[in-house]
Amino acid sequence: MRKRIVAGNWKMHKKLEEGLSLARDIRVRLEGRCSEGKEVILFPPFIHLAGIARLLEGPTGFHCGAQNCHHKTEGAYTGEISASMIASAGASHVIVGHSERRKYFGEDDALLAAKIDRALEEGLTPVFCCGETLEERESGRQFEIVGRQIRKALFHLPEEKIRKLHIAYEPVWAIGTGKSASPEAASEMHAFIRSEVAAQYGRESAEAISILYGGSVKPGNAAGLFAMPDIDGGLIGGASLQAADFEAIFNAL
């Protein structure tokens, strides 16, 4: 059975004390309600990671991760953070390929493939983000774009490794805009992603991968999205910054 997950991407929000306090609040609200099959993952800024990893130790089903990692093992890359540093801070996951990284930092498919490799080598679980822009959707190219993103960044992996990651479908036009994809549109893309994975690796592997939806998920629309058969949870941006909203979204899982 694949996992059902609610993950919070805090982006560049929260000073250290505010971040620790939010993580503490989320733990208090959700302790005893997570399990091996139903997880919470928090993605705070790098400097919060070690503190939040400690704070989430103990109860089953709580994890934290980084929002990015460098694609090299180590070296003279001022300002960068490696996958092994992330793991050594006690984190277990890492987001790779968020559309903001693609857009503002020029991250392309080849670089993302290298980051996926580094993350897996360090035992981190990558959450690989893919999604089309508004222009790509309006011109009917959304399946071509998302299909290419997952093929180029993921399909070099052997079968035993593809099962070790999660995928987040995040249409760029829905991120931070308040305009979520409809459950039907999101579900159609999730089914497409799963069928592409199945065509490459077989149905069993495709069924083992959690595919999260991200893009303006809120307490009011989470239940409709999470009820769809191929949507295994959400990657939440804005609404993950308030513990009460995050809890309400978890309740919809």
Active site amino acids: 98, 170
Inter-residue contact 81 to 45 (CB < 8 Å): no
- Contact between 202 and ligand PEP by CB under 6 A: the answer reads no
Rounded CA gap, 173 and 178, in Å? 9
Q: Which of 91, 94, 235, 252 binds ligand PEP (CB under 6 A)?
A: 235
- Contact between 55 and ligand PEP by CB under 6 A: the answer reads no
- Contact between 132 and ligand PEP by CB under 6 A: the answer reads no
- Contact between 217 and ligand PEP by CB under 6 A: the answer reads yes
Amino acid letter, 44 = P
Inter-residue contact 231 to 210 (CB < 8 Å): no
Q: What is the x/- site pattern for ligand PEP, positions 152-191, by CB under 6 A?
A: ------------------x----xx---------------
In whole angstroms, the minimum distance from the beta carbon of 95 to ligand PEP comes to 8
In whole angstroms, the minimum distance from the beta carbon of 238 to ligand PEP comes to 3
In whole angstroms, the minimum distance from the beta carbon of 59 to ligand PEP comes to 24
Rounded CA gap, 42 and 250, in Å? 12
- Contact between 9 and ligand PEP by CB under 6 A: the answer reads yes
In whole angstroms, the minimum distance from the beta carbon of 73 to ligand PEP comes to 27
